Structure 1
Amino acid sequence: MHVYTVYMPRLSTPEKILRAARKLMDSGGADAVSMRRVAEAVGITPMAIYRHFPNREALLKRISDDSFASVAQGWEKRSKHRDVYKGLLKSLEQYLDYAQTHPNLFDHAFSVRRDDARRFPEDFRDRQSPTFNVIADKLAEGMERGLFRRADPWDVAMTLWGLGHGLIALYRAGRFNYDEKQFRAFYLKSLETAFDGIKQ
């Protein structure tokens, strides 16, 4: 009988720092992420963090950037549905999934004013947003195939994103008397209504 040992790759110090900071963010929001708390979680001194991240803002930005990249991969997979319309709806549903799974990270990424935030239209048209690119590209594909009315796909993508984000923000602010299941149904129905307005 052979016994196999599975060796997990060791995390580098920056990876450990990011993992610890992400856990703090998930549990207590951006205010909970301090260099001291992260250092304690990793087992290093606070000064050691500065060898990898110049300041707290850089650490928070990296958490957001990594999260966007991960979400974009999921959006890309869902958007590849053979039905362009359903691919778009699935991608925007994942935006809700992200908000419900990581509410503190969602708030920091989209509801707090940040100097380094991407701004519409220039940054988005320059394809600096991995998540937004998925929606704009899918809309452009639908327009090219005659499924959607011709328009600027970037403008339409921002309109859809604004609708989805606005509903989620209102729900998180307690403005809906719905449980999560009821809100999800309302959210998707609202997006379907918006899609009806751009269909050919």
Structure 2
Amino acid sequence: MSMKTADRVAEPACTILAAEGVEAATMRRRLTPSASRPWRSTSTTPNCEALLAAVADRALRTRGELGRARRFPDGFRDGASPSFTKIVTLVEEGMRDGLLRPDDPLEVAMTVTATAQGLVQLYLGGRIGLAEDEFRALCTRATRRVLDGVRA
């Protein structure tokens, strides 16, 4: 797929994803830039995988161009990421209280969150074939396994 075609196809798909979420982003909902007709498979945009790759490429380029992508470890220190900072704080408390063995709180927090994030990405990418409640249970079990590995 050419870059021009990829951008033209990915832009409306990104808009749908941002506004309505993953469930709304179906192949029938992909719209042309004019929004006048549904996106359809052609020789230049052969399938859903190609469209998803274009959306991912666009998102990565956009983040890189804006310079907002955080990089571990510096981009996660000193409150640079409010949501990640909460996890680091919980890890530090667990270490202080003896629930977790002493270690680098930033790395432990990254390990725990990376497991959950990876599972979510696999699930949203269709690589995990479970119902939502079963998937949530899988995430809980995986997180427990990680924590059991760092527990004092």
User: Which TM-score band (shorter chain)?
Assistant: 0.5 to 0.7
Which residue does the alignment assign to 2:128? 176
Which residue does the alignment assign to 2:82? 130
1:165 aligns with 2:117: yes
Q: CA RMSD in A?
A: 2.6
Using the alignment, how far apart are the partners of 2:97 and 2:21 within structure 1? 45
Post-superposition shift, 1:127?
A: 1.5
Using the alignment, how far apart are the partners of 1:126 and 1:154 within structure 2? 10
1:94-148 per-residue CA deviation (whole Å, 9 max, x = no partner) reads xxxxxxxxxxxxx98xxx4213112211121121100000000010011011110
* Residue from 155, 165, 178 that aligns with 2:107: 155
Post-superposition shift, 1:26?
A: 2.4
Which residue does the alignment assign to 2:149? 197
- Indicate how the Cα distance of structure 1 residues 24 and 129 shifts in structure 2: closer, same or farther if over 3 A, else same: same
- The percentage of counterpart residues that share the same residue type is 39
- Give TM-score, length-normalised by structure 1: 0.46
Q: How many residues align?
A: 101
1:116 aligns with 2:68: yes
Which residue does the alignment assign to 2:26? none
- Give TM-score, length-normalised by structure 2: 0.59
Using the alignment, how far apart are the partners of 2:83 and 2:136 within structure 1? 20
Which residue does the alignment assign to 1:26? 19
Q: Please, which runs of 5 or more residues in structure 2 have no aligned partner?
A: 1-14, 23-29, 31-54
